[in-house]
Structure 1
């Protein structure tokens, strides 16, 4: 198996040939056709100015076109920079500037918005291409030859992608991963999931997310399974696909499975083809694991733990008890180590003691883009990644996440760092101070609640605060609730006492 993305594209075409690689909205693309479209799109990117080592920002929802464009970037020797499809133009322009992107590929009109016009207004110097027009771009035989040479030259140690994860300082962090790391993510995960070319894989996680791209799209190339991408999750549409296409695999956050189980269509939908479910991102009720096995017919249900900085760290295994699957994130996968440390002293703690989760091994990122200080803070001299999560390892090495050292919360499967939201809110006229916490939500797991200190003469209301946030930030980051307070509770050093805020919510 090749350990670069271009190598995977070529190998999949040779090994799986005319078998279906992708199916979406009635369109099918074989592995051979995928390779051909990827190489021609890569040549077109070269004609548009992409050179080996250059970055391309891809701002679009899940689609076959996304995959072709994404693989084409690395086939041309470039670095893929996926942008969240819900981001605003302001957020995307920040990614373009920080990566010095040669090209920006945009799905214009997604969710009724004018992405190209919006991005052009805030990033006038960016070279923007419409994703829908890529098939009509021209390239020469010389460009094709140069692209094949560029694909040959890609090294497993080259940077394959930069995935941005919101930073605790309010500045998104660009996570650098090599080709061999990205490939290893899909290979390790799919081995535990027993994935084969017979599988039909419903990918609900967005391709701009590590799980959608590395555990979804790259797994398809590695194992030869057919990928069925969804642009946005719709429980009824997903059930229709499961029945009509005999879907076998559905990874997703617990909210995804609850959506399927609670849909009015579920009782009359044939889900007997399902065999493998992978979930995580939140505590999983034991009752949900049982429902996945009995009502949704899954033979293999596995929970896992990962993060953008380390895509797959731990997984449960076949044969684990329901309670183990529901209450732990499994044990370290091959090539990875886990440890629990005292967050104050760094001393490693024995089984059963709570502390900060540390990860080490093949999946740990290369570092953060343009931020050596943050990289040094995250990865210590011994190679341990300090996750900021509090957890416990049992005597078997199974991990249970108990809390977060950071203020991050998870909304609908996406990490939200309050510092970024707070920085946006304090730019709103009439706001003196703001703090954001995550609060429980039945559908999304957690949503944001903002505590806002208004200027004395301000008539600002909650709707105006939420609307302002939605203009500047992706929807999942915008708070759903706003409470106006006279002052934020702080300690003597000035830090906001968020536990005090949580106790009032």
Structure 2
């Protein structure tokens, strides 16, 4: 898309549209750099704030030209690029609902998402157009566009013909802005419905809590198909009018080389482990940085301490979910308290958090129980799953996170486990029941059990124990290869063990705790 300069369109009077708030935070100098590309063939390319305004206007005008009903779902499964971020912003600008999909999802998974969400538009990478468009058109999706990392594709070809002036659609705070699919423990994915108000309220709180300023520079090295990269990182920089250094993929040496020009970095624990492996990570390279943030998975205390020793900085850990965006954070300012390794800090302003026992009664300090939350950031429910939504909220309106933890006397929250066997591998949620469902459909498989065990790089590694049918001969590598054709790679077990039976208790329930203990040292 050509981004030659022309007068920028102004934001409308204040309303509930998240885009309007983000656009209103653009700096007065629209020709200043908003995003600088740090890798790939476009290394060094700069996008001004005016470019962001014009490009989102053109894409929003394209969406308007399709005569879509207000609030239509726009599904996107594309590689990370600045243009992919602009698509997200344009969807908000046009008053529709953004549906980001992990680039690792395979055909069976995408088929479910398209069938469940019924998007009016699907945007995919050009290399996947053949099979994605087939699924989309079978589901009667009227529009399929392509968008590639090199700024080519039919979406931009059409958008460049549109006007670069666009008045953002007026939306109420409670109107739907995005649907994020999160796998369910039953194997059926659930679409968490996040409103403009959910996302904006959380971004505004984080702007203050983390001290965002216009002169900040964020190294953006996260994917943009989930909460961490798409909302927490992007909204933070945009709402502050701060520049982003944009990496399409995380590469530790490249990130370290840009630390002297940056002030903020966000990553999952795996990224910090990778950075610590580099000799170039020193106190000198981090001298200008003011904040390192970690989330999406537990940060090992060893990583927390190693980072302090190597860089002189203390990582800020926080806690959030697809259904709630951010919930807690360790303090940024020293006067608000210390950053305590192994904890996820204190509830954010406006967020209620309680720890309850199995009977729903409050737990005293330091006693482990179920975490429940409420606040303006908490989602409205699961897309087209009213019964599931009711199940996940208490009678008095608190959301059951499914996480187990405790609060100390100061209010700091520690996550000690996850109910329903959730595995977090490399920052991605993996639900065993979903993987077991795929395994059990494979020829010769009688039953299976999937668990997570400690992994030095990913936090947890997914493994499976499979019992063959009588007379069947199974091999782990062959089962892994079969799964790779069906599900996202981060869900595929790293090892599959063939055993004659699964350990069970007297009630016949599989004792996954025994499997986890048996293979605890598998990855060292």
TM-score (norm 2): 0.88
How much is the aligned-residue C-alpha RMSD, in angstroms?
2.3
Q: Structure 1 residues 465-474 or 483-492, which shifts more?
A: 483-492
Deviations 1:133-152 (A, max 9, x none): 222205887x888x62xx34
8 A Cα contact 2:316 2:339, kept in partner: no
Q: Is 1:499 matched with 2:501?
A: no
Change (3 A) 1:493 1:302: same
| Alignment check: 8 A CA contact 2:27 2:241 kept | no
Deviation at 1:470, TM superposition (A): 1.4
- Give the secondary structure class of the aligned counterpart of 2:474: coil
Q: Counterpart in 2 of 1:314?
A: 328
The residue number in structure 2 matching 1:43 is 61
Offset at residue 272 of structure 1 (A): 2.0
1:326 is aligned to 2:344: no
1:383 aligns with 2:397: yes
Q: Within 5 Å, give how 1:251-262 maps onto structure 2.
A: 251-262=266-277
Give the Å deviation of 1:433. Answer: 0.7
Shift of 1:498: 1.0
Counterpart residue number, 1:115? 128
Q: Measure how far apart 1:175 and its partner are.
A: 0.4
Per the alignment, residue 90 of structure 1 pairs with 108
Question: How far apart, in 2, do the equivalents of 1:154 and 1:70 lie?
Answer: 16
Matched, 1:266 2:284: no
Residue 80 of structure 2: SS of its match in structure 1?
coil
Unaligned runs of 5+ in 2: 1-13, 38-42, 520-524
Q: Structure 1 or 2: larger helix share?
A: 1
Structure 2 contact 282–311 (Cα < 8 Å) conserved: no
Taking the TM superposition and a 5 Å limit, the aligned residue runs for 1:339-378 are 339-343=354-358, 345-378=359-392
Residue aligned with 2:355, SS: strand
Cα offset for 1:494? 4.2
SS at match of 1:153: coil
**Residue matched to 1:415:** 429
Cα separation, 2, equivalents of 1:406 and 1:235 = 34
Query: 1:52 pairs with 50, 65, 70, which one?
Result: 70
Separation (CA, whole Å) in 1 of partners of 2:306 and 2:503: 43
Residue 128 (structure 1) aligns with: 144
Residue of structure 2 aligned with 1:61, choices 79, 82, 105: 79
**In the aligned structure 1, how far is the partner of 2:468 from the partner of 2:374?**
45
> SS of the residue aligned with 1:41?
helix
Q: 1:31 and 2:42 equivalent?
A: no
Q: Secondary structure, in 3 states, of the residue corresponding to 1:169?
A: coil
Counterpart residue number, 1:111: none
Mapped to 1, the partners of 2:262 and 2:282 lie a distance apart of: 17
CA 1:201–1:324 in structure 2 vs 1: closer, same or farther (change >3 Å)?
A: closer
- 1:248 and 2:263 aligned: yes
Aligned length: 492
CA contact (8 A) 2:297 2:426 kept: no
TM-score normalised per structure 1: 0.92
Q: Distance in 2 between matches of 1:475 and 1:32?
A: 38
User: Structure 1: any 5+ residue segments left out of the alignment?
Assistant: 109-113
1:234 maps to what in 2? 251
Which 10-residue stretch deviates more, 489-498 or 374-383? 489-498
For the 8 Å contact 2:59–2:90, the answer to whether it is kept is: yes
Is residue 16–residue 196 contact of structure 2 (8 Å, CA) maintained in 1? Answer: yes
Kept in 2, the 8 Å contact 1:14–1:32? The answer is no
1:87-236 correspondence runs (5 A): 87-108=105-126, 114-125=127-138, 126=141, 127-131=143-147, 132-133=152-153, 134-138=155-159, 148=167, 151-236=168-253
Secondary structure in structure 2 of the residue aligned to 1:208: coil
**Are 1:289 and 2:307 matched, yes or no?**
no
Structure 1 pair 482/463, CA: closer, same or farther in 2 (3 Å)? same
* Correspondence for 1:4: 17
Partner of 1:78: 96
* CA apart distance, 1:94: 1.7
CA shift, 1:292, in A, is 3.2
